[in-house]
Amino acid sequence: MKQSDIEGFFATLRAANPLPVTELEYSSVFELLAAVLLSAQATDVGVNKATRRLFPVANTPQKIIDLGLEGLENYIKTIGLYRSKARHLMQTCEILVRQHQGVVPRTREALEALPGVGRKTANVVLNVAFGEATMAVDTHLFRLGNRTGLAPGKTPYEVEMKLLKRIPAQYLVDAHHWLILHGRYVCQARKPLCWQCAVSQYCGFKPQTTADQASAR
């Protein structure tokens, strides 16, 4: 994808959605951290269903600790891998209380030191909560980076570095949201909806036509 195409790509996405936001529901930085930690290998819809039960009862590190591990598990057991996620969230809450006075830290190093918090989760918190121009490369961003030609790479980190380098500065803070939403609803994994894609003219992906598929047989 040429640099001029990248400009048009993001200008189009911004025009359609000037103020993109995460689909995870939260009302504090800690709630965001907890929701993102719970969202690994789970849908935002599924996480929101669980946190709508959990957060009214326990929405601070100390309140999560007070629930106890079994109590926490009961609130999030509808989410995949809930036992390990409950353990990580509990350990994270203990560290937040013990080392950070119950406040979510604002540095990557401190965030990634929390159990269950990897680079992607830290990037989401830094971007969404603190407005930093980070790129949380999930399956959607990895797919789009490679499929569109925007940022081809063999690893999430390689795609992340290329996205940060190639996306114009005025789009960087919101680019993560635009790409996730585009990958979730339009540029889908099995069958991209190219015929209804607003940025197809800038994209390097050429979908197979019926004639192409027939000739390939």
Spell 136-175 as b/e; 16+ CB within 10 A means b: bbbebbbbbbbbbbbbebeebebbbebbeeebeeebbbbb
Q: Give Cα 129 distance to the centre of its chain.
A: 13
How far apart CA 58 and CA 68 sit, in angstroms, is 11
Residues, the chain, total? 217
How far apart CA 136 and CA 74 sit, in angstroms, is 29
Q: Give Cα 19 distance to the centre of its chain.
A: 16
How far apart CA 139 and CA 115 sit, in angstroms, is 21
Which active-site residues does the annotation give? 120, 138
